[in-house]
Amino acid sequence: MQTRLWKLTLLIVVVALLAACGGQGAQPAPKVTAAPAAATTPAPALTQAPEPTAAPKVEPTQPKPTDTPKPAPTQPPAPSGADGANLIFDAMRAQLAAKSFRMTMNTEDGDKKTTMTIEYVAPDRFHMIQASGMEIILLKDGMYQRSTKDGPWNKLPGSMGSNIVTSILDPKNVEELKNTMSVDKVKFLGPELLDGKLMWVYQYDTTVKVGDTTINSTAKVWIGVLDKLPYRSESESDSFVNKGSRTKTTNVYQYDPNIKIEAPVQ
C-alpha cells in the first residue's frame, strides 16, 4: 500500500512540472540575472518501504495424553484360616451344584500310573473313561460297562449304579472333609493365572482313618476368584495300597455345558 501512494505522488509531481514548462508558448524568456545559487542539500532519495514479512506459521499444538496407566481393577482380598477353609468347602458344594463338568484325573502310586476322565451331568449321570479304554456309565436307574473303547456295552444287573451315584453326590462328603481337615493349617498361597483365569490357590492338610490305617495328605486347590469354582487340585498322600509309598493325584476340571450322557443300551 505504501508503494502505491509513493508512485501516485511522484506521478502528480512530474505532470505539474511538465505543465509549468510547456504552458508559456514559444516566446523567448526574459533575461533574468541569475542569483547566486544557494547551496541546496539534496533531497533524500525516496526509499521503498520493505515488504512486510509474513508471520511464521504456528501449528496449533495438541496436548499430549499422559502416559499414566489406568489402575487395574481391584480384587477382593482372599480369605485365609477358617474363612479360607469355608471357601474351599463352598467351592466343593458349588461343583456338586454345577449343571455339568469334566474331570481329568492323573494318579501315581509307586510305579503305577493311571489316567481317568469323569464326566458329570446333573442330577445323576456319570461317565468314566479309563486310559485302557474301559468305560462305565452310571445313571440313577442303571449301570453300563464296556471293556474296550469299541467293545459292546453291557447293562449290569441290580441297583449298584444308583447306590454309587447317591454316595458320590451326597453332601455329607463335604461335611466329612471338614472333620478330616486341619483348619488351622489352611494356607493362602497367592493368586495365579490358570488358562487366563485368575485363581486363588490354597493348601490344606487332611487326616483320614480307614480301619487301622491313618492316611495323611497335603492338597492344593485352585479356586476361581469370580465364580468360586475349583479348577485344579493336586494332592500327595500316604498310599493305601503300597505301605510306605506316596500317592500323587492331579485333577483338572472343565465346566462344559455341552456334555451329554445317555444310556448306551436299553
Domain of residue 219 covers 81-254
Instruction: Give the integer Cα–Cα distance in Å for 20 and 26.
Output: 13
Per-block average pLDDT, block size 10, for the chain (266 residues)? 37 35 40 44 48 54 52 61 89 92 94 92 91 91 90 83 70 82 87 96 90 89 96 94 89 95 88
How many domains are there within the chain? 1
Strand order in the sheet with 197-210: 154-156, 142-146, 135-139, 125-130, 112-121, 100-109, 246-254, 230-238, 213-224, 197-210, 187-194
So what's the pLDDT on residue 28?
Answer: 42
**pLDDT tens for residues 113-125?**
999 999 999 988 9
Q: What is the CATH number of the domain that holds 224?
A: 2.50.20.20
Q: Give a yes or no: residue 41 inside a domain.
A: no
pTM above 0.85, yes or no: no
Instruction: Give the integer Cα–Cα distance in Å for 124 and 191.
Output: 34
So what's the pLDDT on residue 140?
Answer: 81
Q: Give a yes or no: residue 18 inside a domain.
A: no
Any idea how long the chain is? 266
Q: Give a yes or no: residue 24 inside a domain.
A: no
Q: Give a yes or no: residue 221 inside a domain.
A: yes
So what's the pLDDT on residue 160?
Answer: 65
Q: Give a yes or no: residue 183 inside a domain.
A: yes
Q: Give a yes or no: residue 129 inside a domain.
A: yes
Q: Give a yes or no: residue 70 inside a domain.
A: no
Instruction: Give the integer Cα–Cα distance in Å for 244 and 215.
Output: 11
Q: Give a yes or no: residue 157 inside a domain.
A: yes
